[in-house]
Chains A and B, each alone.
Chain A
Amino acid sequence: MNFRKNKSLFLFLLPGLILYTIFFIVPTVNALIYSFTDWDGISPEFNVVGIENYVQLVTNDSIFLKAFVNNIKFMLFVLIFQTLFSLIFAMFLIKNTKTNIFLRALYFFPTILSSVSVAFIWTFIYDPNMGMLNSVLSTLNLDFLQQNWLGNENIAIYSIAVTQVWFHTGQMLIIFVAGLQAIPKDLYEVADMEGAGRWSRFRFVTWPMIAPSATIVMAYTTIQSFKAFDLIFAMTRGGPNYSTEILATLIYSTAFRSFEFGYASAQSVLFMIVIAVITVIQFRLLRASRVQE
């Protein structure tokens, strides 16, 4: 199709482009501009401070570093377990039987809940005094496993990560099911003829064929993990002692509690760069295992 000859076709792109410009490009460019200022987000005036915000962030902000480390811990935990569980469940639920369709819907159900509802449910489950988790452990005579799940700074971030995995595994499962169902059956027949075992079938047929789905799942999970603001804010507000503070909650706190919009903008720009770098690395690593299309 020759777009030069059909210029009117560009008009179809216009609504989307306008919305994208207003709601993404303009705020992003503004964030970049404000990251070089000391704007408090309210006052009409501000000063340009050059790269001072970035220097402070990189050299003299222990909380930013802590939030970044927490984010990496959270992301790795969620990435590993969410991908693993969604893939395993998808492999069990690949056939379109009535039971499997019901189970897929059941596993997908948490995804349609609001984050605040999920946070409320899990805060109750984790409550150290009357929560379901400690009660179940007590009933099973496993009292030694009881924990202060959200109050112990060594495990709080992982407790929230478990909630995140529960929240989104069903969503990723659907992507994997679609990927698995698209694998031609004859590839498995060839593998059988070659005498491949279960692991070899997975390693040399299934995984390379679902690598595009895995790329989407892992990239999406990574981005989701970095942006798990609502869940963390509703469950712990970043505490205790910054142990569940992640970059998104820190940026919120800097902007809307400390009213340092300029500094929060600098944090946002670095945050965006971090997500972009990690996503690009993932795409490159996963591309290596993909079947050439």
Chain B
Amino acid sequence: MIRKLACVSTFALGALLAGCVGGTGGNSSSENGEEGTISFIHWRGEDKAVFDELISKFEEENPSINVDMTIYPSEQYQSTAQTTLRDGSTGDVFTSFPGSQLEIINKAGLFEDLSDEAFIDQYEPQLIESGQADGKQLAVPLQLVFNQPVYNKGIFEELGLEPATNWEDFLALCETLKEAGYTPIAFPGSDIGPGQFMNPMMMNNAPNEDVFDQLMAGEASLTDDWWVETLAQFKELNDKGYLNKDALGTNHSAAISQVASEEAAMLATGSHAMASIKEMNPEIELGLLAPITTTEEEAKWEGIHTTTFMLAVNANSEKKEAAKKFVAFLSETENAEQYANETSQHVTVKDVEYDSEELTSTSEWIDRNTRFQPRFLIPNADVEKAVISSIQSVLGGKSPEEAAKEAQQIVEQNL
């Protein structure tokens, strides 16, 4: 009885809070409850148009199956998807972030094992590892994102600049941009900036990919050189005026506008923002670079990648076969190619040909020595927040040592 009441109250609390965070679930391509209707939930509102097209195509090919797509704001999706998936009526096909969300959903037993499905072979094996756990392929990441600065190639060419290969050159590059009247880096410090830019900033200061596991095991500390140095470099960029003014009050949309209007030369987030920049300024030529925070010889990594937007089938679904058919359909080269080109996102599916200029020009990064996004390897959300807050703290004026110490205190409270 208590368990049932708990479920009811938890659901009510979840629904209430979901309402509080704003933005109702988005849009539906068919009515709920129809026989043969599968529910597809995800967080990418910007992909609505292409998914509408793909769903229509799928429904034509599979007349007995309808797909009901619901899009949630990503923040809401991260916090409530697990609750939504529990009874199996919503999210026959769902998407997951890698890292802690995958672990939580896996712990709740909500992933259908996809290891033996034929469509797994459609993917580049090394790019779908983030969807694996306990030796099983629980989900297939569709998107390949590079979480490193986007830069305006035109401005760089005009000033005779090339992406830097060490920290001194990166600072010199920023100085040249500043002297030429550009904001070197648009940094959305009020929302996703710190969580995105920390990845390339720390990748070579802590080249060991297990560093956050070591942190949680008490074997590493945020007060160690790798993090204090990263914070000091953030501070240096800010103090020298290489980040936009009032960076901590700037959100991602405003930062994108600064780059699209060619007021800023770099955007400190990632390739996922390129489509939005191009939409605002179709003439702009964009590329990707990563700040190398060490000497060229010491640098182990060239950039950061994340394989995300992981397609999965709900283990509690009553329409698993139909759900798998839809995932298989999205995994087909032709459909993945349509998705990639219309959303300006790289995908993890094999043999996809990119036709947009920004995708072809950044495809070289697929073969470069990039590291999986370290932030997603922080297993504890409180620790992740502490790490991000320490960046905001130094940009707010605290010393790197002090900010690192405060963050480490929170880490220790969560060990």
Contact = CB atoms under 8 A, between A and B. Distances in A.
B392 A116 contact: no
B108 A43 contact: yes
A127 B83 contact: no
A129 B79 CA distance: 31
A41 B254 CA distance: 36
17 contacts: A30-B2, A30-B10, A33-B2, A41-B10, A42-B82, A42-B86, A123-B251, A129-B249, A129-B254, A150-B249, A152-B249, A152-B396, A153-B396, A230-B20, A240-B190, A241-B396, A259-B104
A127 B396 contact: no
A62 B382 CA distance: 12
A226 to B, nearest CB: 14
Nearest to B14: A256
A128 interface: yes
A87 to B, nearest CB: 29
Interface in B1-43: 2, 5-6, 8-10, 12-14, 17, 20-23
B180 interface: no
A131 B20 CA distance: 25
B381 A152 contact: no
Given A152-B396, A257-B385, 6 more contacts: A41-B10, A127-B250, A239-B392, A241-B393, A255-B17, A259-B104
Contact of B410 (A62, A130, A151, A252): A62
A151 B9 contact: no
Contacts of A257: 78-79, 381, 385
Nearest to B82: A42
Interface of B: 2, 5-6, 8-10, 12-14, 17, 20-23, 75, 78-80, 82-83, 86, 104-105, 107-108, 189-191, 244-251, 254, 380-382, 385, 389-390, 392-393, 395-396, 409-410, 413
A164 to B, nearest CB: 15
B97 to A, nearest CB: 12
A121 B307 CA distance: 35
A258 B248 contact: no
A92 interface: no
A261 B108 CA distance: 14
Contacts of A61: 413
B251 to A, nearest CB: 8
A233 B254 contact: no
Given A30-B5, A129-B246, A242-B389, A42 B22 contact: no
B127 to A, nearest CB: 27
Given A151-B249, A236-B190, A253 B396 contact: no
A60 interface: yes
Nearest to B244: A129
A151 B22 contact: no
A66 B205 CA distance: 30
A26 B413 contact: no
A158 interface: no
B190 A151 contact: yes
Contact of B104 (A40, A56, A255): A40
B79 A240 contact: no
A23 B12 CA distance: 8
Contacts of A89: none
A290 interface: no
Contact of B79 (A56, A60, A128, A256): A256
A237 B191 contact: yes
Nearest to A238: B385
Taking chain B's interface residues, is the majority helix, strand, or loop, or is none over half, making it mixed? helix
A126 B248 CA distance: 12
B405 to A, nearest CB: 12
Interface in A108-123: 114-116, 123
B381 A258 contact: yes
A176 interface: no
A42 B190 contact: no
A103 to B, nearest CB: 30
Given A151-B249, A257-B78, A62 B413 contact: yes
A116 B105 CA distance: 29
Nearest to B104: A259
Given A148-B246, A150-B190, A241-B393, A116 B22 contact: yes
Task: Give 3 nearest A-B pairs by CB, closest first.
Answer: A151-B249, A151-B248, A128-B246
Given A26-B8, A148-B248, A236-B190, A241 B392 contact: yes
Interface in A30-59: 30, 33-34, 40-43, 56
B246 A256 contact: no
A27 B385 contact: no
Interface in A67-115: 114-115
B250 A129 contact: yes
A64 to B, nearest CB: 10
A20 to B, nearest CB: 13
A234 B19 CA distance: 12
A151 B246 contact: yes
A128 B249 contact: yes
A27 B10 CA distance: 8
A134 B105 CA distance: 45
A63 interface: yes
A229 interface: yes
A253 B381 contact: yes
Scoring B23, B249, B390, B395 by chain A CB atoms within 10 A of each residue's CB, the highest score goes to B249
